[in-house]
Amino acid sequence: MKRFQYTLEGVLSFRRQEEERCQAELAAALRRLETERQRQRQIEDAIHRALQTRIQTPPTTAGDLLQWDRYMGRQRAALDAQAAVVATAAATVETRRQELLAARVEVRKLEKHRERRHDEWALAARRQDQQRLDEIGTLMTHWKARAV
C-alpha cells in the first residue's frame, strides 16, 4: 500500500503558519502594552515627585503656584491620555489573544482530522496485509495438497 498522504496538508501548513503569526502578533501586543504601562508609571511617578516637592517646599509666590498648577494640569492630562493608550493596548492584546485562540482551534481541528484519516489508512493497510497473508496461506495450502 502506498504511504499515507494527507490531502489537506497544505491547508494544515497554512493554518499552522497563521497560528505562528497570531502568536507573534500577541507577543508584540503584549510588549507594546508593557511599554505603555511603563510610560504611565513614569507619568504617575512624575506627579508623585511634584506633589512631594510641593509638600516639602511650598511655593513662595503666586507665580510659582500658578506654574506648579499648570505643570500638574499637563501631567494629569498626560496621565489621562496615557490611560487611554493603555486601555487601547489592552484591548488589542485581548483581540490578539482571541485571534490566537481561534487559530489554535482551527489547527487542532485539522490535526484531529489528519489523525482520523491516518488511522483509517493504517486500518486499511492492516486489512490489505492480512488479506495478502490469507491469500499466501491459501496458496500454500493448495500447493501442499497438490504435493501430496
Domain boundaries in the chain?
9-109
What are 78's three cell numbers? 498626560
Minimal CA–CA distance to 19: which of 127, 100, 118, 134?
Answer: 100
pLDDT digits (tens, 9 = 90+) for 68-125: 899 999 999 999 999 999 999 999 999 999 999 999 999 999 999 999 999 999 999 9
User: What percentage of the chain reaches a pLDDT higher than 70?
Assistant: 99
| pTM given for the model | 0.77
pLDDT of residue 90: 98
